[in-house]
Amino acid sequence: MLTRVELPSGDGIRVDGWAETGTEVSTAYDPMLAKVIATGGTREEALDRLGDALAATRADGIEVNLGLLRAAIRIPEFRAATHTTGTLAGVGDPEPRITVVRSGMMTTVQDADGRVGYWQVGVPPSGAMDDRSLRLANLALGNDENAAGLECTATGPSLLVSHDTLVCVAGAPAAVTVDGAPVPMWAPVLVPAGATLHVGDATAGLRTYVAFAGGLDVPHYLGSAATFTLGRFGGHGGRALRPGDVLRTFPTSTAAAGPVPEDRRPRFGQHWELGVTEGPHAAPEFFTRADIEQLYATRYGVHFNSARTGVRLIGPKPAWARRDGGEAGLHPSNIHDTPYSVGALDFTGDTPILLGPDGPSLGGFVCPVTVVSGERWKLGQLRPGDTVSFVPVRAGSAPRRSTVPATGGDGDDGVLRRLDGGDGPAVTYRRQGDDNVLVEYGDQVLDLALRARVHALHTALAGLAEPGVLDLTPGIRSLQVHVDPGVLPVPRLLGLLAELEATLPRTADLVVPSRTVRLPLSWDDPATREAIERYMAGVRDDAPWCPWNIEFIRRINGLGSVDDVYRTVFDAEYLVLGLGDVYLGAPVATPLDPRHRLVTTKYNPARTWTAENSVGIGGAYLCVYGMEGPGGYQFVGRTTQVWRTHPAPGEDPWLLRFFDRIRWYPVTPEELLDLRADLAAGRTSIDAADGSFSLAEHERFLAENAASIAAFRATQAAAFAAERRAWEEAGEFTRAEQAAAVEPAPPAEVAVPDGGARLDAPFVANVWKVEVAVGDVVEEGQTLVALEAMKMETYLTAPAAGVVTDVRATPGTQVAPGDCLVVLGPRA
Amino acid sequence: MPELIRTVLIANRGEIACRIIRTARQLGLRTVAVFSEIDRAAAHVRLADEAVLLGPAASYLDAEAVLRAAKESGADAVHPGYGFLAEDAGFAELVEGAGLAFAGPAPGHLRTFGDKHTARVVAVAAGVPVFPGTGLLADADHAVAEVEAIGYPVMLKATGGGGGIGMTVCRTPQELRAAYDRVTGLALRSFGSAGVFAERYVERARHVEVQLFGDGRGGVVTLGDRDCSLQRRNQKVVEEAPAPALPARVRELLHRTSRDLAAAIRYRSAGTVEFVYDAEREEFSFLEVNARLQVEHPVTEQVTGTDLVAWMLRLAGGDDSFLAPYLAAGEVPVTGHAVEARVYAEDPPPASAPAPAC
């Protein structure tokens, strides 16, 4: 994919091309992207113009021949017109380049600050997961601390440089070499022209960073160079590096500053203490006080299934203050969807996950504590098998990027302030780390009046354009205000919010701009059937929602037939309450008429694959998946794109807005594919008509239909209760505990023959594939075992040539660091 | 624009499809794009008034599918661009057989120039200079015997070849013997024909070509010349018009013999005669005729003030009045200079493979 195309224009310049930013270039066809044509009165003038035009031409994301072209038209023989068909034979690209020889396990281009300001539409910040190490490496080189560099995960890359290149490697300790000779980390190192920089395996921590003098020159997407691999944008080609990729740096004339002082370098061990603040959803409302005490007393283990989206922890199950999530779900961890903070400890059911920089912006689970901004870099270094403990700190004492905040916590249960509301709903101001305030209205219920109130506050606050406000992100009944506390301290923000609250119109008077958006829905689409089949084959086939989600929706809502489900979905008008659930402009919406609100539970465990733009129902919400990935909502069909990474100039990538009202119209799967293609090609956009939403009118509608709505709810509640009883009898609620109870066997002693070698697991992982058997003769570097950890496959290779004498790894089992996987004997 | 054609289908993709659509719209024609499954979001699909899905990636080569798209969309003309079906005489016949105009050379021209050997025979008959060469070579012994008369070095070529595939320089009889089996084998696999021949090889050669346009009734004009010598792996990279450092006598001869060749077969539409030019001896030799619009045609348009695509479409619609001002002189005058650089999605050294899709 071309992530940036810039073509020249001007006097005497003509460009015949087809490629543009966002074009996918297929290897199926001729690789020509464009012809740059320069015209002048003389040959000299034409060539000079062509030189200027080519200097102004850029194409990023894939390798192109621009360097060669720029060199070709400067060849003296060509300028003198004494050239021949052989003139170009020895000419290459003379411009400085860094070629990826080996890419490492997952190496991405990242900057330190990430992509801030798009949280409300579900674009995560991304950026270096350990931003502190990348900042220090940049500063050592004299770079801006936000300059783009490389983040290496567990295993680093080999990089061949064409010109002298100054680098600084920082972060997780690893063996770093230049043409095989060891070089120091945390200090500027000159990699001479033609030499190869190699970053080895992280021996503690998880992520090593490589900064380059001048910084990496990659296109900014939504203001940042950071790669968001799930969204396939940012960095180099919107993906992790691959062998053969070519990187370039910005030219620089700044002198390197010198090594990072010893006392500023982070220390890397196997145990990590994370400074956290209380809130947003702590005790006694959601957790018991004993739960929170236990949380601070526990050493959690880092689960192998951790990634940039989040670090999964292993620890005790909370007792929970509530029996269930009320309207929001059967589990006491469930709440109505709320904006999350990076660094929050998110309890998805009983499983704690520390949300990372590629994590979701919205979700329906409680977070009792939040890692403060100055400590979030540690998330990037949590290695599977490491341990973590949480240290309560006071928010006000946690300057950004510091490591020594005052301990003890704020002792306020994460609640900054409560207002009784007077005419309007009650307001709760909750703490989310030291840099977010979560404003919640009313009770834990789905009430459009509360959402309208959120919208009113959002609009008023956005209108103030207060310096220091970074993001405003609405949830179902809450608004998250993300600030730079150095510019806008939280106490001042609280004052501002309370003042604004008093100026908001009465909820009943709210009238909000609201478009009617007609979207196609391919009911029971083959892509959703495929996802269910994959789930049944790979995760579980005995779930209550298998083999057909629509039938499950019918049953749990007490409807007579699946046709009733169809009618309900197509009759409904869905009001968009949030965007980016999950990611990239994906709407979370709810039917305006409560009689259209089909309730369901989410998949448990979640699906590992969902087709892009599948439409699902979870709780009382409808969601369109913004991108391919995991998921938990019950499918009803599939629609068109709600996000375009490279929209037409002047348009936003996201297509929906808050308070849009979605109406579905039925299409066949084939028609949907055509509509999707047209939208992707920019031949059509979505069908939206302007209008407004009046809360007073809506309340009138509810009052007029109160009896019928109550009857519908009663039927639905009875069916839901029946389903719940059936689940209890079938052990559905205790599944997770049973699965977790299986303990791995203690490792046995392993004898290695003289002259042999052993291959050990580098971290906690799942064995995915074993590619050799006893007796096989293997070469050094040959793949022996594939592991699955951090949502990635890792291929482990033979440390030396030899004969396989023992295979200890079994596919499907979990291994710990140092566990022997394969034993090699010397070759006969 | 005459009334004869109203809708043109562009049987191509990429920059050339976009470029043809641009001119067709200026002429007031309705445009129909075709596209493969992986090109659903491509620029030419968006630019055209209508777009028809052909099928999988290779379906731009599916003559039946393209013709079906033309009929279903109500097109009355087809412009083939370059590459894909542009020089496929069978496709041109299908189009014309279905009563549609083919905005390119007549099928017979495509057939004559599609085979390098017959092209050379026609060129020689029309008086176009050629370096000494052999006829088709039956075996390695025959090749060595025939080349004795020409002298080394020679270039061994496949008669059905294109894009430089299978062309090998041989400096000694041993090299010629070694190359013979390889080139015939490659030719058979690549072009379905094992025929090879040899011709004199110029060590310091330039690639010079003449743009021409014929009315199909014997009227032919030249539109100057181009130099396309800057090549990598036999692929043109930089082209310019006019060809620099060309003696007037040579230029005049190039143009006149090119015209004679095209006039002799009543050539229709745009075409290019390619030559090898030996700058030291100031001699040139016929290489081949590209019976189509060429990638580098813009440099010619820039120095002649013409629009070759417009000419092709107008001729397809039965209008050749645009040629009238030039027929007497036989040429369109050239002013100024133009250079073109091709931006490719491929990495020059160290790694030269095309960049993969991602």
pLDDT in tens, A29-63: 989 999 999 999 999 999 999 999 999 999 999 99
Residue of B nearest to A46 (CA): B338
With bands split at pLDDT 50, 70 and 90, how would you rate the model's confidence at A756? confident
What is the rounded CA–CA span in Å between residue A21 and residue A5? 5
Residue of A nearest to B20 (CA): A16
For the purposes of burial, counting CB atoms within 10 Å of the CB of B305, is it exposed (0-12), middle (13-18) or buried (19 or more)? exposed
- Under DSSP, is residue A70 helix (H, G, I), strand (E, B) or coil? helix
Whether residues A93 and B349 touch (CB distance < 8 A) is answered with yes
pLDDT tens-digit profile of A510-555? 898 999 999 999 999 999 999 999 888 877 888 899 999 999 999 9
Residue partners of A124: CB distance under 8 A and separation at least 6: A114, A115, A228, A342, A357, A358, A359, A360, A361, A583
Residue partners of A412: CB distance under 8 A and separation at least 6: A278, A431
Contacts of B41 in chain A (CB under 8 A): 23-24, 677, 680-682
Interface test with B, best of A20, A29, A676 (most B CBs within 10 A): A29
With bands split at pLDDT 50, 70 and 90, how would you rate the model's confidence at A814? confident
Contacts of B303 in chain A (CB under 8 A): 39
Closest by Cα among A314, A316, A352 to A333 = A352
What is the rounded CA–CA span in Å between residue B137 and residue B168? 15
What is the rounded CA–CA span in Å between residue A758 and residue A806? 9
Are B236 and B172 in contact, with CB atoms under 8 Å apart? no
Of A24, A32, A86, the CB nearest to B14: A32
Whether residues A32 and B343 touch (CB distance < 8 A) is answered with yes
What count of other Cβ atoms lies within 10 Å of the Cβ of residue A551?
A: 14
Amino acid A408: pLDDT: 74
Amino acid A746: pLDDT: 46
What distance in Å separates residue B141's CA from the closest CA in chain A? Answer: 30
Characterise A317 by phi-psi region: left (phi > 0), alpha (psi -120 to 50), beta (else): beta
ipTM of the complex: 0.89
Amino acid B191: pLDDT: 73
Q: Per-residue b/e over A744-761, b at no fewer than 16 CB within 10 Å?
A: eeeeeeeeeeeebbbbbb
Contacts of B244 in chain A (CB under 8 A): 43, 81
Whether residues A41 and B337 touch (CB distance < 8 A) is answered with yes
Alpha-carbon separation of residue A514 from A168, A181, A657, A705 (angstroms): 51, 64, 8, 23
Task: Average the pLDDT over A430-443 and give the result.
Answer: 96
With bands split at pLDDT 50, 70 and 90, how would you rate the model's confidence at A330? confident
- Cα B34 from chain centroid? 22
Residue partners of A673: CB distance under 8 A and separation at least 6: none
pLDDT tens-digit profile of A564-616? 999 999 999 999 999 998 899 999 999 999 999 998 888 877 787 899 999 99
Is the CB of A16 inside 8 Å of chain B's CB atoms?
yes
Helix (H) or strand (E) holding B181: helix B173-191
Task: Average the pLDDT over A395-404 and give the result.
Answer: 57
Q: Which residues numbered 209-248 in A keep a CB inside 8 Å of some CB on B?
A: 237-239, 242, 244, 246
Are B157 and B166 in contact, with CB atoms under 8 Å apart? yes
What is the rounded CA–CA span in Å between residue A130 and residue A343? 12
Task: Average the pLDDT over A800-816 and give the result.
Answer: 85
pLDDT tens-digit profile of B250-286? 999 999 999 999 999 999 999 999 999 999 889 999 9
Residue of A nearest to B50 (CA): A683
Amino acid A297: pLDDT: 96
Contacts of A33 in chain B (CB under 8 A): 15, 343-345
Residue A307 pLDDT exceeds 70 = yes
Whether residues B279 and A84 touch (CB distance < 8 A) is answered with yes
What distance in Å separates residue A195's CA from the closest CA in chain B? Answer: 14
Whether residues A45 and B355 touch (CB distance < 8 A) is answered with no
Residue B134 pLDDT exceeds 50 = yes
Closest by Cα among A713, A732, A734 to A724 = A732
Residue of A nearest to B233 (CA): A89
Contacts of A74 in chain B (CB under 8 A): none
Helix (H) or strand (E) holding A669: helix A669-680
Quote the Cα angle for A371-A375-A377, to 5°: 110
What is the rounded CA–CA span in Å between residue A722 and residue A555? 10
Whether residues A62 and B355 touch (CB distance < 8 A) is answered with yes
Alpha-carbon separation of residue A524 from A549, A603, A675, A806 (angstroms): 9, 17, 17, 49
Whether residues A35 and B40 touch (CB distance < 8 A) is answered with no
Interface test with B, best of A35, A45, A57, A58 (most B CBs within 10 A): A35
Percent of the residues in chain A that have a pLDDT greater than 70, as a whole number: 96
Is the CB of A738 inside 8 Å of chain B's CB atoms?
no
Task: Average the pLDDT over A84-102 and give the result.
Answer: 91
Alpha-carbon separation of residue A792 from A45, A237, A308 (angstroms): 54, 19, 11
- Under DSSP, is residue A518 helix (H, G, I), strand (E, B) or coil? strand
Alpha-helical segments (H) within B192-307: 248-264, 297-304
What is the rounded CA–CA span in Å between residue A232 and residue A7? 23
- Residue A470 corresponds to which amino acid? L
**SS3 per-residue string spanning A316-337:** CCCCCCCCCCHHHCCCCCEEEE
For the purposes of burial, counting CB atoms within 10 Å of the CB of A448, is it exposed (0-12), middle (13-18) or buried (19 or more)? buried
pLDDT tens-digit profile of A268-298? 999 999 999 999 999 999 999 999 999 999 9
Amino acid A817: pLDDT: 74
Residue A346 pLDDT exceeds 90 = yes
Are A50 and A72 in contact, with CB atoms under 8 Å apart? no
Least confident piece of the model among A8-22, A242-256, A743-757, B36-50: A743-757
- Cα A815 from chain centroid? 27
Residue A2 pLDDT exceeds 90 = yes
Is the CB of A503 inside 8 Å of chain B's CB atoms?
no
- Under DSSP, is residue A815 helix (H, G, I), strand (E, B) or coil? strand
Are A632 and A337 in contact, with CB atoms under 8 Å apart? no
Residue A741 pLDDT exceeds 50 = no
Are A582 and A122 in contact, with CB atoms under 8 Å apart? yes
Amino acid B353: pLDDT: 35
Tokens of A753: 């023959």
What distance in Å separates residue B337's CA from the closest CA in chain A? Answer: 5
Q: DSSP class of residue A504? A: S
Q: What radius of gyration do chain B's Cα atoms show?
A: 21
Residue B175 pLDDT exceeds 60 = yes
Amino acid A403: pLDDT: 43
Is the CB of A196 inside 8 Å of chain B's CB atoms?
no
What count of other Cβ atoms lies within 10 Å of the Cβ of residue B76?
A: 18
Whether residues B357 and A24 touch (CB distance < 8 A) is answered with yes
Amino acid A654: pLDDT: 95
Residue B165 pLDDT exceeds 80 = no
Whether residues A28 and B349 touch (CB distance < 8 A) is answered with no
- Provide the CB-side half-sphere exposure for A236 (13 A, CA): 26
Are A283 and A289 in contact, with CB atoms under 8 Å apart? yes
Q: In what order do the strands lie in the sheet with A792-797?
A: A792-797, A783-789, A765-770, A814-815
Pairing of strands A107-110, A32-40: unpaired
Average pLDDT, chain A: 91
Residues of B noted as catalytic = 292
With bands split at pLDDT 50, 70 and 90, how would you rate the model's confidence at A819? confident
What is the rounded CA–CA span in Å between residue A308 and residue A381? 11
Residue A743 pLDDT exceeds 60 = no
Length of chain B: 358
Whether residues A23 and B42 touch (CB distance < 8 A) is answered with yes
pLDDT tens-digit profile of A133-184? 999 999 999 999 999 999 999 999 999 999 999 999 999 999 999 999 999 9
Q: What is the DSSP string of B114-173?
A: HSHHHHHHHHHHTT-----B-----SHHHHHHHHHHH-S-EEEEETT--TTTT-EEE-SH
With bands split at pLDDT 50, 70 and 90, how would you rate the model's confidence at B357? very low
Whether residues B40 and A677 touch (CB distance < 8 A) is answered with yes
With bands split at pLDDT 50, 70 and 90, how would you rate the model's confidence at B158? confident
Residue of A nearest to B205 (CA): A84
Amino acid B349: pLDDT: 59
Amino acid A407: pLDDT: 64
Least confident piece of the model among A434-438, A685-689, A758-762: A758-762
What is the rounded CA–CA span in Å between residue A618 and residue A328? 9
Are A436 and A472 in contact, with CB atoms under 8 Å apart? no
pLDDT tens-digit profile of A696-726? 999 999 999 999 999 999 998 898 888 888 8
- Under DSSP, is residue A759 helix (H, G, I), strand (E, B) or coil? strand
Residue of B nearest to A41 (CA): B336
Q: What is the DSSP string of A519-539?
A: EEEEET-HHHHHHHHHHHHHT
Alpha-carbon separation of residue A500 from A120, A454, B83, B192 (angstroms): 20, 12, 66, 80
Residue partners of A748: CB distance under 8 A and separation at least 6: none
What count of other Cβ atoms lies within 10 Å of the Cβ of residue A351?
A: 18
Alpha-helical segments (H) within B27-82: 43-47, 63-72
Pairing of strands A207-212, A149-153: antiparallel
pLDDT tens-digit profile of A655-669? 999 999 999 999 999
Residue A419 pLDDT exceeds 50 = yes
Percent of the residues in chain A that have a pLDDT greater than 90, as a whole number: 70
